[in-house]
Amino acid sequence: MSLASTQSVAEIKARNKELIDEVLKVYPEKTAKRRAKHLNVHEAGKSDCGVKSNLKSIPGVMTIRGCAYAGSKGVVWGPIKDMIHISHGPVGCGQYSWGSRRNYYVGTTGIDTFGTMQFTSDFQEKDIVFGGDKKLAKVIDEIQDLFPLNRGISIQSECPIGLIGDDIEAVSRVKSKEYDGKTIVPVRCEGFRGVSQSLGHHIANDAIRDWVFDKITSETERRFEPTPYDVAIIGDYNIGGDAWSSRILLEEMGLRVIAQWSGDGSLAELEATPKAKLNILHCYRSMNYISRHMEEKFGIPWCEYNFFGPSKIAESLRKIASFFDDKIKEEAERVIVKYQPLMDAVIAKYRPRLEGKSVMLFVGGLRPRHVIGAYEDLGMEVIGTGYEFGHNDDYQRTAQHYVKDGTLIYDDVTGYEFERFVEKIQPDLVGSGIKEKYVFQKMGVPFRQMHSWDYSGPYHGYDGFAIFARDMDMAINSPIWKKTRAPWKDAPRPSLMAAE
Amino acid sequence: MTQNAENVLDHFELFRGPEYQQMLANKRALFENAHDPAEVARIREWAKTPEYREKNFAREELTINPAKACQPLGAVFASVGFEGTLPFVHGSQGCVAYYRSHLSRHFKEPTSCVSSSMTEDAAVFGGLNNMIDGLANSYNMYKPKMISVSTTCMAEVIGDDLNAFIKTSKEKGSVPAKFDVPFAHTPAFVGSHVTGYDNALKGIIEHFWDGKSGSEPKLEREPNDRINFIGGFDGYTVGNIREIKRIFELMGIRYTILADNSDVFDTPTDGEFRMYDGGTTLKDAADAIHAKATISMQQYCTEKTLSFIESHGQQVVAFNHPVGVSATDDFLMTLSRITGEAIPKLLEQERGRLVDAMADSSAHIHGKKFAIYGDPDLCYGLATFLLELGAEPTHVLSTNGNKAWEEKMQALFASSQFGKDCHAYPGKDLWHMRSLLFTEPVDFLIGNTYGKYLERDTGTPLIRIGFPVFDRHHHHRYPVWGYQGGMNVLVKILDKIFEEIDKNTNVVGKTDYSFDIIR
């Protein structure tokens, strides 16, 4: 157990404030001033966490953030499985993001689905000099020729596209016309736009609005008969199957999921979503934009939910049911009761092994707050958290519904700050990404990747919670952490006398 | 309900349960607007045909599943091979997140690297302020001994001038005037990660040898008997460089490894995170000018670097990722020729052991057809080894290979009776390889992790050798160079061959008469 849990809240707050002051000392003055606004100790009762967010990262500090392209291609668009997403520009962006997000899907890859493939226009110097529009037109032709079953194409702009003045919208219109109104979506998600992945999410949402919703035809409208219980899952990327272990609960309570955005999603599902009676939103950060749009344009209400851990799942199932009739409300209760024995068994097995353990998080999207309940279900405590690309509305939600008094908050944390914080606080577990994993493991601190679920998952839903609990136990209670120090380092030196 | 607390089911079991299978089938039937399964099957078969291959090879602009990355990745890889060096990539920040993730997924190690985090305003006004602030922050926070600057394509498209920017930053006091900030322009739209390795390494050497961007006199070469060694971009750098050091030490050669990242990509877990570890010292990097000769293990990773070194009066020799007996013989004899040191008995014994192992096992490899893809030098080295095992490297494909590489490969094929039906494919990608494997099948495929999609689709068993290898652990710790390295490659290939034979002969009462206990 870490030191943290043996201290009073006042002591913790004082220590955290001291820690913040200490890390700021390393920076040049101007940088220290800017970083100071992103670090804070949470005060209970405040409406947000008292940090600035969604501002530019500072050069040279080793931010953990990515870019707009990562937010659009990597997060929002990439998982739409029956479309081909062109990484438009040089080869790298598509290469580094190829298949690494674990957006599970079912389909025949390369024939009717394309999720784990890397399509790129592989820009060369001549394309920079003369522009890439002709190339793009040809790329689309070649896709049509070789992948006749693709349902649509998106163009994910990399940095050079916006800089050299290419008109990908014009190419998209021409080609769409040429291919009988085919869905071809230009996305202006060049990596230099905005300050993080976040603007890429927004741009990608807007592209769905403008290039998918605005082109829905009567044919697509007729694909199925609506029912009063139709809902869409928004903002679940099906990492390790998360959306599936969520969908099953919604269906069990009598709802019909007509679309998944965007894990294991298809173009048809995007197009069908305006028929939903309720949009349920998991990752608020990446898909609140389109949810608001559907509310305004189609009058579809949306509600946020949290499927991490039994407490939040039950709360969320009830909240979702509250939008429907008594039949659904009763079914929701039945689902909660049905899974109670499984949850009891999971908690009985793992809670004694995890009780009182402390966690520090640094993730993106919804996770810096959403997973806190799941840890608490296991008797664990989140003592520090921060968002890679959150906005103030994320920190408001965090302050009002999730974190405890005295929690250390770090927005867009730098490599240096995160290391110092963990070194001083010595939590029992750190949850962050691949770039952070090995840093903390070297320090002897147990770690789980909370973007990719460390190649495990699903973590959503009741089925996912069992895996989550098992994984946290296996990280923290691995015998390896007792072996990081060579035994002779601690052993008393044999004296000369003894040697004789 | 399939999940249970006593035996927690993972994703690969959980979703096979009947509830999930039914759910997924309903989703597909009702909401996905899925194609008729018969049509999917028809297209799937069509994509295996020579007709499809022809269309596929007629592609001019579309790249699908390439086996190459972009320049800055190679620049970062080379830069971390110097003592206390922090790579600094000037341009958009997302790129750096990608390089760090990519290298960490392969090596299972931290990768430290910073970005100048340029955004829209920098796109308009240039990234000078980002450089000024960025260098100051990195220098203060991470206390490097050197900051090695390269560029993303954003900075290249807007034409930022690194030399001028670094000078200005020094004038503004971002880092001390004498602090080493070598640089290289590494546009992602030229070449690949191997080009970036070359540019960054040349940039660093040029910095030390040619007067640190005009701030000091150029070094005068005073030839000594040392040998410089360059590994090139190499997924096996940890095992390989250590093996090379052992060989040099056995031969009594005084050497300098340039860009030695074997320690920083293999730090211990002992309670301390080492942002920097090992690496070529800055003094050694400068003194390397005096060496007698420089040896590069990978020609296509070091074209500019070697020509720069040669222009400073050194003898330079480039190999093509030597693997196996003859390639290692050639490497050792070259070392011996240049240094005058004899090849010691121990290495001769190791050679004999590799030959012994090949003789013991060659019956299982002889005549087998292989497809290989990867970086140009790796492809060449592996093809050489297969030829001396009596195997046929039927398809050798390198997305970042060029015309000269193709000619070199074809010359290699022409030199062996086992190479007569073999072809090199420069500039092609793994979707081309897919067509090759369907229309001209081979027994085994050698490539990186992404080859698993080809294995799944075409049924060609994959032997994982290359970069990146994300889905198997720790192979980078074992060398593939030297006779010991050849042994590792041999065993890797043999293991797969035997596993395949076992897999194909294990049906009880049907095929298991051949399920031999001795092979």
Residue B118 distance to chain A (closest CA, Å):
6
Residue numbers in B near A90 (CB within 8 A):
70, 153, 187-189
Residue A7 distance to chain B (closest CA, Å):
24
Mutate which of B13, B20, B33, B71 to disrupt the A interface (most A C-beta within 10 Å)?
Answer: B33
Residue A45 distance to chain B (closest CA, Å):
34
Q: Is there a contact between A440 and B190 if contact means CB atoms under 8 Å apart?
A: no
Residue numbers in B near A474 (CB within 8 A):
none
Q: Tell me how far apart the alpha carbons of residues B62 and B85 are, in angstroms, rounded to a whole number.
A: 37
Residue B221 distance to chain A (closest CA, Å):
35
**pLDDT surpassing 60 at residue A500:** no
Residue numbers in B near A121 (CB within 8 A):
61-63
Check if A151 contacts B (Cβ < 8 Å): yes
Residue A46 distance to chain B (closest CA, Å):
32
Residue A47 distance to chain B (closest CA, Å):
31
C-alpha distances out from residue A292 to A73, A271, A296, B310, Å: 21, 16, 6, 64
User: Could you say which of B24, B97, B116 has the minimum Cβ distance to residue A65?
Assistant: B97
> Which residue blocks in B159-218 are alpha helix, DSSP H?
162-171, 193-209, 211-214
- At residue A218, the pLDDT reads 84
**pLDDT surpassing 90 at residue A101:** yes
Q: Is there a contact between B97 and A139 if contact means CB atoms under 8 Å apart?
A: no
- In the numeric block, the tokens 């809670």 are attached to A351
Q: How many residues belong to chain A?
A: 500
Helix axes A9-24, A415-425, angle to 10 degrees: 140
Question: CB of B323 within 8 A of CB of B382?
Answer: yes
B377-391 pLDDT tens trace: 999 999 999 999 999
Q: Tell me how far apart the alpha carbons of residues A266 and A66 are, in angstroms, rounded to a whole number.
A: 25
Residue A399 distance to chain B (closest CA, Å):
28
HEC-encoded secondary structure of chain A: CCHHHHCCHHHHHHHHHHHHHHHHCCCCHHHHHHHHCCEEECCCCCCCCCCCCCCCCCCCCCECCCCHHHHHHHHHHCCCCCEEEEEECCCHHHHHCCCCCCECCCCCECCCECCCCCEECCCCHHHHHHCCHHHHHHHHHHHHHHCCCCCEEEEEECHHHHHHCCCHHHHHHHHHHHCCCCEEEEECCCCCCCCCHHHHHHHHHHHHHHHCHHHCCHHHHCCCCCCCCEEEEEEECCECCHHHHHHHHHHHCCCEEEEEEECCCCHHHHHHHHHCCEEEECCHHHHHHHHHHHHHHHCCCEEECCCCCHHHHHHHHHHHHCCCCHHHHHHHHHHHHHHHHHHHHHHHHHHHHHCCCEEEECECCCHHHHCHHHHHHCCCEEEEECECCCCHHHHHHHHHHCCCCCCEEECCCEHHHHHHHHHHHCCCEEEECHHHHHHHHHCCCCEEECCCHHHCCCCCHHHHHHHHHHHHHHHHCCHHHHCCCCHHHHCCCCCHHHHC
**Residue B175 structure tokens:** 């880092």
Ramachandran class of A254: left when φ > 0, alpha when ψ lies in -120 to 50, beta otherwise: left
pLDDT bin (cut points 50, 70, 90) of residue B114 is: very high
What percentage of chain B reaches a pLDDT higher than 90?
A: 100
**pLDDT surpassing 50 at residue B8:** yes
Long-range contacts, B118-124 (Cβ 8 Å, 24+): B118/A59, B118/A192, B118/B90, B118/B91, B118/B92, B118/B93, B118/B154, B118/B155, B119/A56, B119/A192, B119/A193, B119/A194, B119/A195, B119/B92, B120/A192, B120/A193, B120/A194, B122/A192, B122/B158, B123/A162, B123/A163, B123/A192, B123/B154, B123/B158
Check if A375 contacts B (Cβ < 8 Å): no
Asked whether the bond before A458 is cis by omega within 30 degrees of 0, the reply is yes
Q: Tell me how far apart the alpha carbons of residues B370 and A9 are, in angstroms, rounded to a whole number.
A: 65
Strand-by-strand arrangement of the B255-258 sheet = B255-258, B227-230, B293-296, B315-318
Q: Give the count of beta carbons closer than 10 Å to the beta carbon of residue A162.
A: 22
pLDDT bin (cut points 50, 70, 90) of residue A494 is: low
**Three-point CA angle A183, A188, A192, nearest 5°:** 155
Q: Is there a contact between A415 and B116 if contact means CB atoms under 8 Å apart?
A: no
Q: Is there a contact between B95 and A93 if contact means CB atoms under 8 Å apart?
A: yes
User: Could you say which of B62, B70, B108 has the minimum Cβ distance to residue A438?
Assistant: B108
Question: CB of A468 within 8 A of CB of A308?
Answer: yes
- Chain-centre distance for alpha carbon A365: 4
- At residue B117, the pLDDT reads 98
Residue numbers in B near A248 (CB within 8 A):
19-20, 23
Indicate the SS3 state at residue B202.
Answer: helix
Check if A342 contacts B (Cβ < 8 Å): yes
User: Could you say which of A117, A194, A434 has the minimum Cβ distance to residue B64?
Assistant: A117
Lowest-confidence segment of A79-83, A223-227, B198-202 by average pLDDT: A223-227
Q: Is there a contact between A90 and B95 if contact means CB atoms under 8 Å apart?
A: no
- Closest by CA position to A419, among listed B275, B79, B140, B94: B275
C-alpha distances out from residue A33 to A20, A39, A484, B191, Å: 12, 11, 37, 41
- At residue A6, the pLDDT reads 66
Residue numbers in A near B274 (CB within 8 A):
442
Mutate which of B1, B2, B4, B8 to disrupt the A interface (most A C-beta within 10 Å)?
Answer: B8
Q: Tell me how far apart the alpha carbons of residues B300 and B378 are, in angstroms, rounded to a whole number.
A: 10
Q: Tell me how far apart the alpha carbons of residues B487 and B503 are, in angstroms, rounded to a whole number.
A: 24
| Parallel/antiparallel/unpaired status of strands A119-120 and A83-88 | parallel
Which residue from B minimizes the CA distance to A150? B35
What percentage of chain A reaches a pLDDT higher than 90?
A: 95
- Closest by CA position to A248, among listed B27, B20, B16: B20
pLDDT bin (cut points 50, 70, 90) of residue A219 is: confident
Check if A262 contacts B (Cβ < 8 Å): no
Check if A303 contacts B (Cβ < 8 Å): no
User: Could you say which of B20, B28, B43 has the minimum Cβ distance to residue A149?
Assistant: B43
pLDDT bin (cut points 50, 70, 90) of residue B495 is: very high
User: Could you say which of B3, B91, B130 has the minimum Cβ distance to residue A463?
Assistant: B3
Residue numbers in B near A339 (CB within 8 A):
1
A109-127 pLDDT tens trace: 999 999 999 999 999 999 9
- At residue A12, the pLDDT reads 96
B134-169 pLDDT tens trace: 999 999 999 999 999 999 999 999 999 999 999 999
**pLDDT surpassing 70 at residue B232:** yes
Rounded mean pLDDT, A327-343? 98
- At residue B415, the pLDDT reads 98
A409-453 pLDDT tens trace: 999 999 999 999 999 999 999 999 999 999 999 999 999 999 999
- At residue A497, the pLDDT reads 54
pLDDT bin (cut points 50, 70, 90) of residue A491 is: low
Q: Tell me how far apart the alpha carbons of residues B299 and A459 are, in angstroms, rounded to a whole number.
A: 47
Considering the entire predicted model, what is its pTM?
Answer: 0.97
User: Could you say which of A59, A269, A339 has the minimum Cβ distance to residue B117?
Assistant: A59
Which residue from B minimizes the CA distance to A64? B97
Q: Is there a contact between A342 and B270 if contact means CB atoms under 8 Å apart?
A: no
Q: Is there a contact between A61 and B35 if contact means CB atoms under 8 Å apart?
A: no
DSSP letter for B109, please. S
Which active-site residues of A does the annotation give?
Answer: 67, 70, 101, 201
User: Could you say which of B27, B30, B140 has the minimum Cβ distance to residue A26?
Assistant: B140
Asked whether the bond before A262 is cis by omega within 30 degrees of 0, the reply is yes
Residue numbers in B near A72 (CB within 8 A):
none
Q: Tell me how far apart the alpha carbons of residues B60 and A326 are, in angstroms, rounded to a whole number.
A: 60
C-alpha distances out from residue A317 to A39, A257, B2, Å: 34, 14, 20
Residue B109 distance to chain A (closest CA, Å):
5
- In the numeric block, the tokens 């997305």 are attached to B399
**pLDDT surpassing 50 at residue A499:** no
Q: Is there a contact between A163 and B9 if contact means CB atoms under 8 Å apart?
A: no
Q: Tell me how far apart the alpha carbons of residues B394 and B163 are, in angstroms, rounded to a whole number.
A: 46
Residue type, A324: F
Question: CB of B374 within 8 A of CB of B467?
Answer: yes
B439-470 pLDDT tens trace: 999 999 999 999 999 999 999 999 999 999 99
B256-282 pLDDT tens trace: 999 999 999 999 999 999 999 999 999
User: Could you say which of B94, B112, B270 has the minimum Cβ distance to residue A70?
Assistant: B94
